[in-house]
Structure 1
């Protein structure tokens, strides 16, 4: 059956067009979308006339405004200096236009910032260092890199062991959010004792103490922000600065979320295992939960069983049955600036 068709021509950022049924939401553009209707000649194949709707989303890609300064770990960084400004600008634009990655980071932060922040505070580490976990793993406790760095804080195996984490074929505490955060605090506090500023401590998290110490001495500098380093490390601290700026005010960059779109913190129960576990599936069944729930909340478990010859105590976390179901009316909002209607 032949129907009169409405074709929507969407003009994209690069000037390419395609025809599809779409809904324009305006993100991430400052200007409202404009719609025009135009009658075109009869289609030769169908013998029917049709209407072309052209939606112009914007007339140019929007660049973010750059503040004159940012603070990080109690230090004020003057972004009027051209090189600092341009390095910050690059990373803020990346945050603004990494669409899905930046959105999911905000959603996860609502679940994990309430876990991370008290640990940083208890260990004397500024709250700003939580953004290190954001750029390392996008707050994904299961993250693993091609270099085999793992967990939310992306520890390499030897570094993890050096800072008190158990890493073997059966247990890998790099995937344990609380224990890995505590280990990151130990690393960062030691780095701060070496350099006296958190920017240099953060840079060392990326490239190691030895390189930062050597280059500070060789280049006669007092802060890692002033060092000439490999590009990844030169960008590293500015990625954190941009992440902080973006996440504190996402609506400034045209990111809009509703309460029900945030990931809710989960109410977890704990049970302690002090002996061997022949089969984790059987333990999950005994706890009245699925094996999925056991693994999802204890990703540090890396095998089907646990020998535990030393009789160590391992806390097994699993969700309260009621907290497994979303209730948009009860989802706590960790940072009010994360939600709000589009202006």
Structure 2
């Protein structure tokens, strides 16, 4: 009896352990990211049975299980897939095809893009040799495969057949589709007999699309550069102010010295994404630079004590963004996100934000109520938060004027009736909106449209406009019109900047005029500012001319720092050209325990020209190159891709400046208008600057004695030295102040 009880207890324990293990395995399976039951490639729907989903899910788990998946493979995919997509999109290849570049990856700790390209090289017309392997060039391989896929589709008119042709033979494809594809419903139904290649592709698509959905900012972004024939990597690196080794690292397809001619080759360039300044707003106000309030940089000490702050609540109103709120309180976007634990820039109306502001700062208390009323009424009140932050707000003197939105009857909804031969892509190009936006507005599940269908292109709007990027900015002011203040230049309808003719709309004129009036609002301070700027202008103009930068860019350091050497922005950008530390090091500006060359007018200007020339090689437009100084290369690229459908860099002769134009460009135009004419006249200054190079270690006292200059002035214009001695590790530029 005892023996039976013992056996029974033993088997109960075994059964309990088995049930517990089964439950844990099921729970783990449930918690795993589920694979969607259907996919769509072009006009074909792919439906997965339960067994097919299990197969795809198993393959997806194996991909995710790699210790290198998140550390190396996802970052590599996020860098290279945009290049792949750039080659597929012009030939109208479905976006899902870009994930083919990741399929059959033979490497565990990295990614070999287009793993089958080496075997297909003769078919694709790619050259493979001892010094040259074009199948390893992601751009050239993607372009060759895009042509291959387009030819296959033109023959079969079937995107799944085209996809499978990358791995499978024609016989295998016909045999598979005979049992799984329905022509009538254009549906491919997958079961347990699905080819392993298709399982791998769907798993790769599912895993990487979800991983890449969480956008992350990387130190570099990759671009293709085609003017490379008969050049070495060293020469290409110098053109972009990048190390040759860095360029060569991203171009393992070529192992020779000089890239040959006779064929168009593309070199992948790792462009740094950081902006030099990254300022959420440029320094332009007179109050910022009074002796008591200016935030200055001390080369000998980097610790800056914050002012005593108080915490206030801000309720988000319709139309407000993180950017507009940060500008209202005079802080950076990163600070607002840090204070409120935000992981993205998305806000919802009614959301409460906690803001930390100096005790002496008074924020307009009626702002929340004003925005909640959807700008129905006209308000004018004292404003103490800085410059205007929202496109519908403008500063008139020291007051904030609100513009009401255009009435609904002036902005009716726009519809398009689909004609025979139309498709979503053509319609989107006609109205300059994205395909995704058209599908969202019309609640479409796919890209299929029929003749006679009525599509909503732009909804009617009135009062507060929720998305200022995609809808025209209100150009009708409610209240008084902005006019040029006394002694302020009038904003013209046409300006010429860096060889580009700019047409300025009425609304943009008013916005720029407001900036101009502020810059000229304090005559005495403006005159002092002019005298300070005039001292530095000869050096800046000479360097810009030498580096082939348009002379209009001499106003850029005025916008950034008012040419105050030790000015510091809210994003910790320092110096005349407002460089952050990482960006400064990228362009060869030295920062260590002995020197900070951001405070050296010659070295900082040379660094800025390197940055601008590098970005202009890609954008081919000096206005967008200017914008990249604030947004960074990647930020400007993203901004332009959101603004224009299928944006590609092109050289232009004419541009339109309107309410949608980025505030940084409008503010630059205001600075050009304000300072161009006064600086063209002679301004008497007590000091003129010269510079010379020094290799040997010397003290400032020795330099002052040798060059016969005032020691205090020498120290003032050489604040880049953290000590009184110049190091002897390299050649430095010393600024000499000479009396006029």
TM-score (norm 1): 0.62
Q: CA deviation at 1:287?
A: 6.4
Contact 1:274 1:314 in 2 (8 A): no
Higher radius of gyration, 1 or 2: 2
Once residues 66 and 87 of structure 1 are traced to their aligned partners in structure 2, the CA distance between those partners, rounded to angstroms, is 10
2:664 is the counterpart of 1:236: yes
- Tell me, what secondary structure is at the counterpart of 2:688? coil
Q: Deviations over 1:46-105 (max 9, x none)?
A: xxxxxxxxxxxxxx96575331211111111112x2332222222122222143443223
CA 1:318–1:123 in 2, change beyond 3 Å: closer, same or farther? closer
Structure 1 residue aligned with 2:492: 67
Q: Is the 8 A contact 2:696 2:727 kept in 1?
A: no
3-state SS, counterpart of residue 71 of structure 1: strand
Per the alignment, residue 717 of structure 2 pairs with: 297
Match of 1:263 in 2: 685
Out of 178, 181, 185, the residue aligned to residue 609 of structure 2 is 185
Q: Tell me: CA distance 1:291–1:119, structure 2 relative to 1, closer, same or farther (3 Å).
A: same
Identify which of 674, 687, 691 aligns with 1:246: 674
Q: Unpaired runs of 5+ in structure 1? A: 1-59, 252-256, 327-343
Asked whether the 8 Å contact 2:502–2:657 carries over to 1, the reply is no
Cα drift, residue 285 of structure 1: 6.0
Cα deviations across residues 90-139 of structure 1 (Å, max 9, x unaligned)? 21222221434432232223222111111111111100001101111112
For structure 1, which segment, 181-190 or 288-297, has the greater mean C-alpha deviation from structure 2 after superposition?
Answer: 288-297
Q: In structure 2, what is the equivalent of residue 95 of structure 1?
A: 519
Task: Tell me if structure 2 keeps the 8 A contact 1:106–1:262.
Answer: no
Q: CA deviation at 1:215?
A: 1.5
Aligned mates of 2:619, 2:658 — CA distance in 1: 13
Which residue is equivalent to 2:571?
147
Cα distance change, pair 224–289 in 1 and its aligned pair in 2 (3 A): same
CA contact (8 A) 2:603 2:733 kept: no
Q: Distance in 2 between matches of 1:241 and 1:217?
A: 23
Q: Identify the residue that residue 618 of structure 2 maps to in structure 1.
A: 194
What is the Cα deviation at residue 284 of structure 1? 5.1
**Equivalent residue for 1:220, pick from 644, 668, 692:** 644
8 A Cα contact 2:491 2:673, kept in partner: no
Name the CA distance, whole Å, in 2 between partners of 1:163 and 1:126.
19
Structure 2 distance, partners of 1:155, 1:143, is 11
Contact 2:507 2:658 in 1 (8 A): no
Matched residue SS, 1:266: strand
User: Which of 1 and 2 has higher RCO (CA within 8 Å, sep 6+)?
Assistant: 1
Asked whether the 8 Å contact 2:584–2:590 carries over to 1, the reply is yes
RMSD: 3.4
Query: What are the Cα deviations for residues 245-302 of structure 1, in whole angstroms up to 9, with x where unaligned?
Result: 1223359xxxxx996x632552647472424x5x655765676655423312322101
* Equivalent-residue separation in structure 1 for 2:553 and 2:600 (angstroms): 18
Asked if residue 78 in structure 1 is aligned to residue 498 in structure 2, the reply is no
Which residue of 1 is the match for residue 731 of structure 2?
Answer: 313
Instruction: Establish whether residue 203 from structure 1 lines up as the match of residue 631 from structure 2.
Output: no
Paired with 1:224 and 1:210, the residues of 2 have a C-alpha distance of 23
Q: Which residue of 2 aligns with 1:124?
A: 548
